[in-house]
Amino acid sequence: MSAKNFDLVIIGGGPGGYVAAIRGAQLGMKVALIEANHLGGICLNWGCIPTKALLRSSEIFDLLHRLDEFGLSAKDINFDFKKIVKRSRDVSGQLSKGVAHLLKKNKVTVIDGWGKLAGKGMVKVEKDGKAVDEFIGKHIILATGARARVLPGLEPDGDMIWAYKEALVADSVPKSLLVVGSGAIGIEFACFFNGLGADVTVVEVMDRVLPVEDEEISAFAHKAFEKQGLKIITGATVTKLDKSKTNVKASIKTAKNEQQITFDKVIMAVGITANIENIGLDKTNVKVERGHIVTNEWLATDEPGMYAIGDVTAPPWLAHKASHEGVICVEKIAGQQDVHPLNKSNLPGCTYCTPQVASVGLTEKAAKEKGYKIKVGRFPFMGNGKAIALGEPEGLVKTIFDEKTGELLGAHMVGAEVTEMIQGYGVAKTLETTEVDLMHAIFPHPTLSEMMHESVLDAYGKAIHF
């Protein structure tokens, strides 16, 4: 077996790896991409995309039960859960084939197997435990991603206790469900199953749901979730899960008491763990801290010629961060002159719960802790004509500015379609827009985006419709 030479070898075909591979090929590199499971990675196959397909079904089902509000009626509204799951899997399958097509179009060599570092610039590939090939890469990018974090004693068993994979392909909607963790993954599954009729309880160890979000947005979302029927217990830990053949008894401990509640199923959504095992890091100078690979601003590790991108590196763990890092990394390797390091404060975050939550930049608390004297603007959905016409009057847009310079420090939203609107503020931050620029921008009417304008105006006492 003779090793094959490439300019760039990438281990992992998720949203970081495959984007890096395509960009590398566009810049004239000979690129090899090694993927052990599915092109598109967890995001496309078992995360971002299939969950959105599931949530869409749940949202439509909920809307059908509100038809009377719109002067409409229908009888015998129901759902076929297996078809809902099948549609979700079909969406992922279609997009995975699309990634394969893009890689082929860009002449990227795709290798099916497990990539492992095996010395200076060398990567060995195994399939089903057997060696299948060797590759030499002038540059190597590690894009191995992450998997669901497992808590000792609370391990998913694939039957009564689920991780995200089991939740995505469930056979039916459980009558009662415990979701452990209220980050994006946990709260999205909670909203999905709740929307289809499950009795859902969410347990969060922090003192509020969606703990990385602005406190005001988090509190608004909490009330909206409870209004929909979600039971939420914050400042709590699940200390034990006792399984039987038919249910799971959970011991839930708070500062005040410990109670036992029985559920049909449990979803564990307590974060992720980077895939750093069995990829040959022990033979390198790659530094690992807190379970994740350490890189510099150009995604380079301490091992010459080796880089890391995406969920295997430091947070935030977002697909669009991984893709952007892939482009930055490859363009820097290629010697491009207009490459800029990733500015994490310009990274939008989205949670596709009901109502949706989206944010970019500093929260109000973080801005104050950094010493900024701030101006804060707010605008409620109930003051927006399009939101009312859509039957979606519950929500809030919040903007935070540096009082001294007018710099947009952060923007935070909760409500219908805010995951689509947040990029407006993302572009504004990237362009270092001030409040004056945003005030002078003309927003079309009637749109939800008008609330973004009004929130900016409100920060400076100029709001028209509130």
| Rounded distance between C-alpha atoms, residue 196 and residue 191, angstroms | 9
Do 331 and 344 form a contact (C-beta atoms < 8 A)?
Answer: no
End-to-end Cα, the chain, rounded Å: 72
Structure tokens at 67: 């038809």
Tokens of 311: 């969920």
The size of the chain, in residues, is 466
Distance CA 405, CA 99 (A): 43
Secondary structure class of 101 (helix, strand, coil): helix
Cα–Cα distance between 77 and 75 in angstroms, integer? 6
According to DSSP, residue 442 is labeled: P
Nearest to 50, CA basis, from 19, 96, 11: 96
Strands 199-204, 176-180: pairing is parallel
In order, the DSSP letters of 225-242 are HHHTT-EEEES-EEEEEE
445 is catalytic: yes
Contact 267, 189 (CB under 8 A): yes
How many CB atoms within 10 Å of residue 203? 25
> Which candidate, 291, 309, 292, places its Cα nearest to that of 300?
309
Contact at 8 Å (CB) between 262 and 278? no
Closest CA to 107 of 24, 35, 11: 24
| Catalytic residue from among 101, 445, 453, 465 | 445
Q: What's the rounded Cα separation, in Å, for the pair 195 and 47?
A: 19
* Residues paired with residue 204 on neighbouring β-strands, in sequence order: 234
Show which residues are catalytic: 445
